[in-house]
Amino acid sequence: MIFVTGDTHGEHDIHKLNTIGFPEQKGLTRDDYVIICGDFGVVWNDDACDRYWLEWLENKPWTTLWIDGNHENFDLLRKYPKEQWNSGVVQKITPHVIHLCRGEIFNLQGKTFFAMGGAESTDKVFRKEGLSWWKEEMPSDEEMAHAIQTLEQANWNVDYVLTHTICNDVLKQLFFLYAEFGWQYKTNQLSDFFQKIEQKLSYQQWFCGHYHDDIVMSDNKHTMVYHNIIRLPE
């Protein structure tokens, strides 16, 4: 089985994966996956708190997969070696807590997953570079070029897309949903990039985190996850 959920933010939102919030875990094995759509936040300070939650996840019966969001410590993350795993490049934080690197496609239980982490922090003016914010939160030109090459090799066809943020068309829809709360519509280089992918890529479902809400968009193809833990069809 494969499950998808949203941001964990280190100790702040990881509790959704306890046995009360996620009772299905009792029947899972290492061959089952829980995917976190960015802002994992447990590779943050390399301190006792990080180590506690990494061990907590490692002791779960499943294998945890995650893409990076904007709130990650990229200085720490780059220290982990990269290796091939299930057709793509990963960093194994622990044996069963695995970072899916940007622009890679993974084969999981007969399904293909395109992973592309990264997003822009809206609160970076209140953060300090190298301490609570890193410019690497946004994919580089090289990473985006690699993603395009990967998708071309797959003939622009995957089963699922895993990102932290989303494309321009969906951002426009979010603007209308959240306008009464003062939410502003703002595109950037990454949302432009995802818009180009959206126009060419064939896929079943696109999952993202970042927006701290659980929404299935009107097209039934774009799903935002935060608290929900969604089981994918087998």
Ramachandran assignment for 38, one of left (phi > 0), alpha (psi -120 to 50 degrees), beta (any other): left
pLDDT beyond 80 at 69: yes
Question: How far apart (Å, rounded) are the C-alpha atoms in residues 128 and 186?
Answer: 22
Phi–psi pair at 49, nearest 5 degrees? -65, -50
**How does the average pLDDT of the chain come out, rounded?**
95
pLDDT beyond 80 at 177: no
Q: Check residue 178 and give its pLDDT.
A: 76
Q: Check residue 123 and give its pLDDT.
A: 87
Q: Are 106 and 112 a contacting pair, CB within 8 Å?
A: yes
Domain range 2-231, CATH architecture: 4-Layer Sandwich (3.60)
Q: Check residue 182 and give its pLDDT.
A: 67
Question: How far apart (Å, rounded) are the C-alpha atoms in residues 223 and 219?
Answer: 9
Measured CA to CA in angstroms, residue 24 lies from 20, 21, 58, 150 at distances of 9, 9, 17, 33
Q: Check residue 183 and give its pLDDT.
A: 67
Higher pLDDT: 182 or 230? It is 230
Q: Tell me: the pLDDT tens digits for 101-135?
A: 999 999 999 999 999 999 999 888 899 999 999 99
